[in-house]
Amino acid sequence: MLALSDYYREKGNQAKAIELYDQFLNDFDRMIQADSSLVDAKIFQVTEEKIKQLEKERALKDELITKKNKFNYVLIGSVILMLILLGLIAKALFSIKKRIKKLRCNRCEEK
């Protein structure tokens, strides 16, 4: 291919040389798969399938992590809300106890 390309360049036919390179690059994958001495086609296909499977697994893992993070944020928010409500309930309970004590003391003084 290089010799043919040099020949076309010497003759001044740049377009034909570029076309030759394009044709070579388009056929390159097919030639490599056809030549068992370079790469066994079966190994190449298995490797490609493994890569695709790993990419799918990675996408699923990322999706699970995102869902888990959202769930954790909801749980943390719920815990904070429950603590706030518990604080309000405790505050109300203490204020009710104080009022009850005042009422009992007021009844004791009236008698």
**Coil, helix or strand for 28?**
helix
- The pLDDT tens digits for 92-104 are 999 999 988 888 8
Structure tokens at 2: 């290089």
Structure tokens at 5: 């390309």
Residue 17, Cβ neighbours under 10 Å: how many?
A: 19
- The pLDDT tens digits for 12-70 are 888 877 888 788 878 877 777 666 665 566 777 888 999 999 999 999 999 999 999 99
The residue assigned the tokens 């001495």 is 37
Structure tokens at 13: 């036919």
The pTM assigned to this predicted structure is: 0.45
How many whole angstroms separate alpha carbon 22 and alpha carbon 5? 11
